[in-house]
Amino acid sequence: MVSKKIESALNNQIKIEAQSSQVYLSMASWAEVQGFEGVAQFMYAHSDEERMHMLKLVKFVNERGGHATVPALEAPSAKFGSFKDMFQNLFDHEVMVSESINELVHITLEERDYATHNFLQWYVAEQIEEEALARNILDKINLIGDDKGGLYLFDNDVKQLVGNQSAEQI
């Protein structure tokens, strides 16, 4: 049985994962309107992935005798200025999610809830990948700068990667 303290912390993480899905969805819509189909597909796919992260937490809380709650969400930004700004925002968001996961892991150790601690190790590993991916993309965007041709090629590369189900290799 999950403690009330851990149930509350997990419900907070559910909200963060749901918000992450919305952030990616908003970025997908913005990129699509800007004409970057590949980046939009990448963001749509990641929005779905973040929702699955949320659902995994919901099921875990309920299976452990807690009650997962569906949170109200804030509307994410709908405008990002530039691709560099958008990917910087994405990287900063992923760092925040990692910090939240780490705090949650810390609470499980304080509470001696090793089952939840073990469950969360998947999220720890996932966040390492998410941060690395966001950093890698941001590095590429910084290399491209304001070169429209470079952004076009980057968008095509991202589209092919999403099509191959291997976006983590960007």
| Interval 82-121: pLDDT, tens | 888 999 999 999 999 999 999 999 999 999 999 999 999 9
The answer to whether the beta carbons of residues 1 and 64 sit under 8 Å apart is: yes
pLDDT at 170 (0 to 100): 40
53 is in an annotated binding site: yes
Q: Sign of the C-alpha dihedral, residues 42, 50, 164, 128?
A: positive
Number of structural domains found in the chain = 1
CATH number of the domain encompassing residue 20: 1.20.1260.10
* 63 annotated among ligand-binding-site residues: no
**What's the pLDDT score for residue 150?**
86
Distance CA 102, CA 113 (A): 15
Decide which of 96 and 81 is more confident.
96
Average pLDDT, the chain: 91
- The stretch 18-47 carries a mean pLDDT of 95
Mean pLDDT of 131-146: 88
Is residue 17 annotated as involved in ligand binding? yes
Q: Please indicate if the annotation marks 168 as binding a ligand.
A: no
Confidence of residue 144 (pLDDT cuts 50, 70, 90): confident
Is there a binding annotation on residue 50?
yes
Residues 6/108, Cβ–Cβ less than 8 Å: yes
Could you tell me the residue range of the domain that residue 24 belongs to?
4-169
pTM: 0.90
